[in-house]
Amino acid sequence: MIATESLSKRFPKVTALDRLTLDIGAGVTGLVGANGAGKSTMIKILLGLSPATEGTASVLGLDVATSGGQIRERVGYMPEHDCLPPDVSATEFVVHMARMSGLPPAAARERTADTLRHVGLYEERYRPMGGYSTGMKQRVKLAQALVHDPQLVFLDEPTNGLDPVGRDEMLDLIRRVHTDFGISVLVTSHLLGELERTCDHVVVIDGGKLLRSSSTTDFTQTTTTLAVEVTDSDEHPDGTGALRAALGARGVTTQDDGGGLPGAGHIVLLDAADEAVYDFVRDTVADLGLGLVRMEQRRHHIAEVFRTGHEQHGQRENHEQHEQHGHHGQPENPSGRPAAPTTTPPAPQTGGAQR
């Protein structure tokens, strides 16, 4: 989908991209970096709007330096900033944008209705956009990027300014853009927790340099840590404590989910190096008469790249990771949100019901 070869962009005072070589395939790819890491510059170059100082780049097999127009016909772009005139309705606006992408008038109308429905805008699409909530505006912005059925979309910080629910919905939508619509996605964010959930592949850039590029599963391999959550019962008002005590009595050491965060104490962490431990925990919970809310394998978080990214990824990582689990959700976690267990994909072995 996208390939760059020692791509550099230098401005008189700053180097935005520094000999970046990338190869991004189909699927959802996250582009992570702090503000000013060169994400937006890269999108501009890939759209053929800004010439690279050095190196080459191609999008969908077309050279960005010579085929910008063709690329832009088949690519969608959702900017980070607000870009919607308040006095027109979403329908009119998206129809206009569809025509600007080269769709004939009738097709533009049809595609607009379809796309707005897919992003979840219904009756409100006939109202002027000035009265929309941030969530609705983000949907319109996404719709105008998808309306011409591109092969690839660039989404620049699509979850900016959204509340947690809106963010979850947007992330689902992004995921669906690929799985249901068959459109590849390059999404930028500085929130790692989000990319972990949506992306197949994550590219981390820092100061215009490539820090790491690998599939999300590489970043988030499962660990041997098992997280267990149980309900309370009349007999055991503190179910978590009872489980902890029962497991302790049978020789299994447990930790709490640490960090001193409210609610974190309801998770029991233990080291499940072998399969028998799962059965053992299940039986223990059953004996206590508690409800098993969840039992899941903990995963690595992409955020850990920033802790360990500059070191060699060595054997000892697993060991370190194990210790670091005690710190999830603390402020140093660049994802900025507590590592809520519900957001990590459940491992196949998960027993119990999802909440």
List interacting residues with another protein (CB under 8 A): 27-28, 44, 47, 49-50, 69-70, 72-73, 75-77, 79, 81-88, 92, 96-97, 99-104, 107, 111, 114, 118, 128, 144, 148-149, 168-169, 171-172, 175-176, 178-182, 197-198, 200, 342-343, 345-346, 354-355
Residue 190 CB, shortest distance to another protein, in Å, is 20
Cα 133 → chain centroid: 22
* Cβ closest to another protein, residue 168 vs residue 256: 168
* Cβ closest to another protein, residue 20 vs residue 146: 146
Residue 96 CB, shortest distance to another protein, in Å, is 6
Residue 321 CB, shortest distance to another protein, in Å, is 21
* Cβ closest to another protein, residue 198 vs residue 321: 198
Residue 340 CB, shortest distance to another protein, in Å, is 9
Task: State the Cα–Cα distance between residues 334 and 305, nearest whole angstrom.
Answer: 10
Cα 135 → chain centroid: 17
Residue 105 CB, shortest distance to another protein, in Å, is 8
- In whole angstroms, how far apart are CA 231 and each of 176, 249, 254? 33, 20, 17
Residue 289, phi then psi, degrees to nearest 5? 75, 25
* Cβ closest to another protein, residue 85 vs residue 309: 85
Which residue shows structure tokens 């447990």? 254
The token pair at 3 is 């390939």
Residue 43 CB, shortest distance to another protein, in Å, is 8
* Cβ closest to another protein, residue 110 vs residue 317: 110
Residue 317 CB, shortest distance to another protein, in Å, is 24
CA-CA-CA-CA torsion sign (165, 35, 144, 130): positive
Helix, strand or coil, per DSSP, at residue 21: strand
What are the residues whose beta carbons fall under 8 Å from the beta carbon of 313, sequence distance 6 or more?
none
Residue 46 CB, shortest distance to another protein, in Å, is 10
Helix, strand or coil, per DSSP, at residue 230: strand
Helix, strand or coil, per DSSP, at residue 347: coil
Cα 184 → chain centroid: 14
* Cβ closest to another protein, residue 198 vs residue 324: 198
Helix ranges, the chain (H): 39-46, 68-74, 90-100, 105-118, 134-146, 164-179, 192-198, 216-219, 239-249, 276-288, 304-308, 317-324
* Cβ closest to another protein, residue 83 vs residue 210: 83
The token pair at 7 is 């791509």
Task: State the Cα–Cα distance between residues 145 and 98, nearest whole angstrom.
Answer: 9
* Cβ closest to another protein, residue 102 vs residue 309: 102
